[in-house]
Chains A and B, each alone.
Chain A
Amino acid sequence: MPHDARDEILSRLKRTPRKDVPARRELPPLNELSLDREGMIKKFSDQLWLQTGVVHRVADAKAALEKLSEVAREEKLEKVMVATDSVIAPLDLPAWGAAEGITIFRVRDFMNRNAFKHAVFNEVQAGITGADFAVAETGTLGLIHDKDQARLISLAPILHIVIVPADRFVAVYEQAIEEVFADTDRLPSQFCFITGPSMTADIQATPFKGMHGPRRLIVIIIG
């Protein structure tokens, strides 16, 4: 079946008269492109706040861990799934967890997908990940999913805590995408823009957060 269907569809499409389309009209550049670093961080924070995202800003990695401890106490975290991406790995969260009395799970602690899924869906109260980008335009986080950034950590737990260094801010989506898609031989299996917690308004148009993914999103900016 598949192959002749393909040829049939394509040949039908190609058998039609060609029609020229006029050249595209010009698209003016987006306002955000004129923002400097502080401007980007402010716009990001304001935009994410509109989506109920909570943004903290700290000076360095040590302060980030202190802020994390504060959040953990407030949220009474006991078990947490953490990514091992380039932001999170240097923070040595297993050591932090041991000091705080919090059990830290990483992907490598699990034999297989099912064991990992069981933990991330049913065991942990939060997922902690880094972000590869923070986009000022709409208060959006950009995550490259790979072996150090499992998809479900930022998705299945009810609380998502994100740590992002200040040098990862960009003004608009294109700047993130250009970087991610620069090397066509090494594209990530998934790249995800996250703007606030999961949400819906499907019952009686009543909006609420936490439909299928996290109910709350906390961002800690370092620097």
Chain B
Amino acid sequence: MRVTTHRFKAVVKKEIADLSSRTFLSFLPPLFAALRQAAMASFPDPAGAHAYAADIRAEVVAHLPELLEEFERNATGHGAKVIWARDAQEANEFILNLAKEKNITLVTKGKSMVSEEIGINEVLLGNGIETYETDLGEFITQQLDRPPFHIVGPAVNISLQEICDLFMEKAGMTEPTMDPVKLGYAARLFLRDKFHRVEMGITGVNMAVAETGSLINVENEGNIRLSKSSPRIQVALMSIEKVVPTMKDALHLVRVLCRHCTGQAISAYVSIDTGPKRPGEIDGPEELYIVIVDNGRSTFYRDLRAREVLRCIRCGACMNNCPVYTTIGGYPYGWAYSGPMGQALNPLLLGLEQTQDLYRACTLCGSCKTVCPAGVDHPGLFLYYRTKDVEGDRAFGGMTRHWKETTAFRLFTYGTTHPWFWNLASKIIRPFYNNGARDGMVSELPGPFEAWFRSRNLPAMPKRTFHEEWKRIGKIPAEGPTHGSAPE
């Protein structure tokens, strides 16, 4: 997937004018948010269940290396092959070589965010291996070559006409239709043949259970189960933070994940795999490869604040409650991860320089943090990234600011800490500043501050400073009511 995070503002302008995007943003996120609240109410103590999930994720982040080792030991013990990949290239190379070695010509994929992060589809397709996303929404976005609009409904904003045209052209549909259900069944028919013939299934992982070495997938469509049942070879892709300590923890997280994701108490299918198929079983993978992808995570793990982003379980609740996401949709974020989740994760994976607008496009309202079942403090992270960027922290890829801005703030800092400078400077600035004042308010200022005033006003500076006014008042004899009497 092409990363277009640097085009954030340009895509925002386009999306704000897009009627179809606006329609979906006006009802879908609030609907998901309402469903989430209703679903959480089925817990005897919804707030307790929410907090417990965050506690589990905090433990995962704290004990990450030990949990990964335990998971690897148990998964290997049950016959899975565990492969570690430092970055996207290593993961892709391993999968490509495996596919070549096994003469694979057809791959079906279950939805996996990390697979979009590493861009495995492009690598396989580029090497002549037919590769299909099989989640209906992902199938549509793959064929249209677009980033996901929403983590749960990646193609939910695409018009029926566009899907119809697409399926006529690329999914073997013979008669045009504007019925979403018929369109869905056309995709079923097309992909069913792929599931039947598939030789290698690539799936993501919702949770990797350390105590048993099991992989858990949560889904509604059945495409992940098919990709794990039909082919002889299965590749499960997971980023390092997918591990959880125990099966009991995993079940609690499944409950919370489904409720936060789609407002369901549980998804249609929750499948738990431990090793490849056993002798005598007619379906299921003969070989199960688990690729653990790092891709920069172990590097920022040493930063105790930044690492907390690894708590995220990709439920998408943050975006449904974000005033920015619900205005601009998923495209501007320009990558696999959108909304506050993407604003928190992408800067660490791609560097602060390329993702400037992501951690600044935030009002710091804190809705994401409140709703997050994993306990991620998104606004806190955005402030942290802004600081790191301004400081030009190399480890984070910070780029510092323009010298004029840096100088302006140095002067401002000097002024606020040195009264003589402040008083002198305000006297010098006052006539220029007040020049454009209308009714006591300044709403435009030429020069470097022009952009700042485009959406903001400031009061005009008074004739005298506070100190001057204080001195003047002291010389005027006291009038009016004395102390202690009732105000008029």
A residues engaging B (CB < 8 A)? 1-2, 5-6, 8-10, 12-22, 24-31, 47, 51, 107, 110, 112-113, 116-118, 121-122, 137-138, 140, 145-147, 150-152, 155-156, 173-174, 177, 181, 184, 187-206, 208, 210-214
Q: Which of the listed residues B31, B183, B273, B304 has the most CB atoms from chain A within 10 Å of its own CB?
A: B273
- A200 and B226 contact, Cβ closer than 8 Å, known pairs A2-B84, A212-B188: no
Q: Which of B262-270, B354-362, B418-426, B456-464 contacts A (4 or more CB under 8 A)?
A: B262-270
Instruction: Find chain B residues with CB under 8 A from A191 CB.
Output: 271-272, 274
Extra pairs beyond A24-B59, A156-B226, A206-B181 (11, CB < 8 Å): A6-B84, A12-B298, A13-B240, A116-B283, A138-B266, A173-B254, A193-B271, A195-B267, A198-B222, A198-B269, A200-B136
Instruction: Find chain A residues with CB under 8 A from B134 CB.
Output: 212
Whole-angstrom CA separation of A51 from B266 in the bound complex: 11
Instruction: Find chain A residues with CB under 8 A from B36 CB.
Output: none
- A198 and B282 contact, Cβ closer than 8 Å, known pairs A25-B55, A206-B180, A211-B188: no
Pick from A14, A26, A110, A140: contact of B282, CB under 8 Å: A110
A29 contacts B44, C-beta separation under 8 Å = yes
Q: Report B287-313 CB contacts with A as 1/0, cut-off 8 Å.
A: 000001010001101101001000000
A211 contacts B222, C-beta separation under 8 Å = yes
B212 contacts A184, C-beta separation under 8 Å = yes
B269 contacts A193, C-beta separation under 8 Å = yes
The distance from the CB of A191 to the nearest CB of chain B, in whole angstroms, is 5
Residue of A nearest to B55 (CB): A24
Q: Which of B155-163, B327-335, B402-410 contacts A (4 or more CB under 8 A)?
A: B155-163
A31 contacts B44, C-beta separation under 8 Å = yes
Instruction: Find chain B residues with CB under 8 A from A202 CB.
Output: 135-137, 140, 153-156, 184
The distance from the CB of B341 to the nearest CB of chain A, in whole angstroms, is 19
- A2 and B83 contact, Cβ closer than 8 Å, known pairs A17-B304, A189-B277: yes
Question: In which size bucket is the chain B interface?
Answer: 35 or more
Residue of B nearest to A108 (CB): B282
Pick from A16, A27, A203: contact of B180, CB under 8 Å: A203
Whole-angstrom CA separation of A112 from B283 in the bound complex: 9
Whole-angstrom CA separation of A198 from B155 in the bound complex: 19
B residues engaging A (CB < 8 A)? 24, 28, 31, 43-45, 48-49, 51-52, 55-56, 58-59, 62, 64-65, 68-69, 78, 83-86, 90, 93-94, 134-137, 140, 153-156, 158, 160, 163, 180-181, 183-185, 188, 191-192, 195-196, 212, 214, 220-223, 225-226, 228-230, 232, 240, 247-248, 251-252, 254-255, 265-278, 280-284, 292, 294, 298-299, 301-302, 304, 307
Pick from B84, B212, B247, B272: contact of A190, CB under 8 Å: B272
The distance from the CB of A54 to the nearest CB of chain B, in whole angstroms, is 15
Tell me whether chain A's interface is mostly helix, strand or loop, or mixed.
Answer: loop
B180 contacts A204, C-beta separation under 8 Å = yes
The contact sample of 5 A-B pairs, CB cut-off 8 A, is A2-B94, A9-B298, A21-B58, A192-B270, A202-B154
Pick from B137, B222, B272, B277: contact of A212, CB under 8 Å: B222
B156 contacts A107, C-beta separation under 8 Å = no
- A27 and B49 contact, Cβ closer than 8 Å, known pairs A181-B212, A189-B277, A203-B136: yes
Residue of A nearest to B299 (CB): A12
A24 contacts B83, C-beta separation under 8 Å = no
- A198 and B52 contact, Cβ closer than 8 Å, known pairs A113-B283, A150-B282, A193-B269: no
Residue of A nearest to B308 (CB): A19
Whole-angstrom CA separation of A156 from B191 in the bound complex: 12
- A121 and B196 contact, Cβ closer than 8 Å, known pairs A189-B277, A205-B24: yes
A212 contacts B271, C-beta separation under 8 Å = no
Instruction: Find chain B residues with CB under 8 A from A150 CB.
Output: 281-283
The distance from the CB of A89 to the nearest CB of chain B, in whole angstroms, is 15
Instruction: Find chain B residues with CB under 8 A from A110 CB.
Output: 282
Instruction: Find chain A residues with CB under 8 A from B59 CB.
Output: 21, 24
- A187 and B136 contact, Cβ closer than 8 Å, known pairs A9-B240, A116-B282, A147-B281: no
- A200 and B69 contact, Cβ closer than 8 Å, known pairs A25-B51, A192-B272, A195-B266: no
A212 contacts B195, C-beta separation under 8 Å = yes
B274 contacts A187, C-beta separation under 8 Å = yes
B64 contacts A13, C-beta separation under 8 Å = yes
Whole-angstrom CA separation of A27 from B247 in the bound complex: 16
Instruction: Find chain B residues with CB under 8 A from A113 CB.
Output: 232, 282-283
- A194 and B302 contact, Cβ closer than 8 Å, known pairs A145-B281, A204-B180: no
Instruction: Find chain A residues with CB under 8 A from B298 CB.
Output: 9, 12-13
The distance from the CB of A183 to the nearest CB of chain B, in whole angstroms, is 11
